[in-house]
């Protein structure tokens, strides 16, 4: 069964092009022309991925994403005409997995879709064994993070980032290396994306008493202690 993608976009021309390219790749596509309707559809039948415009009637993209994240960790790619770095970071801070800046190439968007779904769906054969340090268990088969019976509710990107760090305790990872490992070659984001997700990850590990396991190496990157 092919993956189902929900496209939430109010521009009819953009919507038609995106749908045509996604269907050509074999994806099932649902659409919504405003944020409120899109959120209703996403919550009723969770899609495999959401492509979400930033500027939407009724409920804008950031508000949509904030509400969606309270209920599910469905991957989200944001479409935005905003080119300033702080605007892009804002989208990632509230839970987007990737972003594409308008105007964009439909082929680039499809490549981003494939990359995000590939991160989420890595086959069981490709998943190495679980990692456990000081009681913190990071299990790539179940994609869970837990310690002493308590589980951290992490997103796909947060899990992949934690697994990359925990796979080599004590090793310092540069931000650019983490971008390549977690987001892949298709991602054209900035280094600060890593900082945003590490911050989210620490906040979620804190109730487990494990937030201090991710250490900042000044002017370089991060390491798992």
Residue 27 is part of a domain; what is its CATH number? Answer: 3.40.50.2300
Same-domain status, 24 and 116: yes
CA-based torsion, 163, 168, 171, 176: positive or negative: negative
Domain termination site, one of 100, 121, 142: 121
Distance between CA atoms of residues 165 and 119, nearest Å:
16
Beta bridge partner(s), residue 139: 144
Same-domain status, 67 and 170: no
What local confidence, expressed as pLDDT, does residue 88 receive?
A: 67
CA-based torsion, 189, 65, 113, 144: positive or negative: positive
b/e sequence 54-84, b meaning 16+ C-beta within 10 Å: bbbeebebbebbeebeeeebbbbbbbbebee
- How many structural domains compose the chain? 2
Same-domain status, 131 and 95: no
Domain termination site, one of 91, 121, 151: 121
Domain termination site, one of 121, 153, 188: 121
Distance between CA atoms of residues 10 and 35, nearest Å:
9
Domain housing 41 = 4-121
Same-domain status, 91 and 140: no
Same-domain status, 77 and 145: no
Same-domain status, 153 and 185: yes
Same-domain status, 106 and 147: no
Same-domain status, 167 and 107: no
Instruction: Please say whether the beta carbons of 99 and 61 come within 8 A.
Output: no
Same-domain status, 116 and 154: no
CA-based torsion, 120, 122, 128, 129: positive or negative: positive
Residues 6+ apart with CB under 8 A from 179: 187, 189, 191, 193, 194
**Predicted TM-score (pTM) of this structure:** 0.67
Same-domain status, 169 and 115: no
Same-domain status, 52 and 115: yes
Task: Return per-residue pLDDT of the chain as tens, 225 residues.
Answer: 489 999 999 999 999 999 999 999 999 999 999 999 999 999 999 999 999 999 999 999 989 998 998 888 899 998 887 665 666 677 777 778 888 888 888 988 998 898 888 877 654 445 568 899 989 999 988 888 999 889 998 888 888 899 999 999 999 999 888 888 887 765 656 677 888 889 989 999 999 999 899 999 998 999 998
């Amino acid at each position: 069964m092919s993956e189902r993608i929900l496209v939430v976009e109010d521009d009819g021309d953009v919507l038609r092009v995106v749908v045509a390219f996604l269907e050509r790749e074999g994806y099932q596509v649902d659409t919504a022309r405003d944020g409120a309707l899109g959120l209703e559809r996403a919550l009723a039948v969770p899609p495999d991925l959401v492509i979400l415009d930033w500027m939407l009637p009724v409920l804008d993209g950031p508000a949509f994403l904030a509400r969606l994240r309270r209920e599910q960790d469905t991957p989200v790619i944001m479409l935005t005409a905003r080119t300033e770095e702080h605007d892009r970071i804002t989208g990632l801070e509230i839970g987007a997995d990737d972003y594409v800046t308008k105007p964009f190439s439909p082929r680039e968007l499809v490549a981003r879709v494939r990359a995000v779904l590939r991160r989420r769906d890595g086959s069981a054969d490709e998943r190495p064994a679980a990692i456990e340090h000081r009681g913190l268990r990071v299990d790539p088969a179940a994609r869970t993070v837990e310690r002493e019976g308590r589980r951290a509710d992490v997103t796909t990107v947060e899990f992949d980032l934690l697994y990359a760090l925990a796979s080599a305790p004590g090793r310092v990872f540069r931000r650019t290396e983490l971008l390549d490992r977690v987001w892949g070659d298709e991602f054209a984001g900035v280094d600060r994306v890593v900082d945003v997700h590490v911050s989210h990850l620490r906040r979620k590990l804190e109730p487990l008493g494990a937030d201090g396991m991710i250490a900042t190496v000044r002017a370089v990157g991060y390491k798992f202690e």
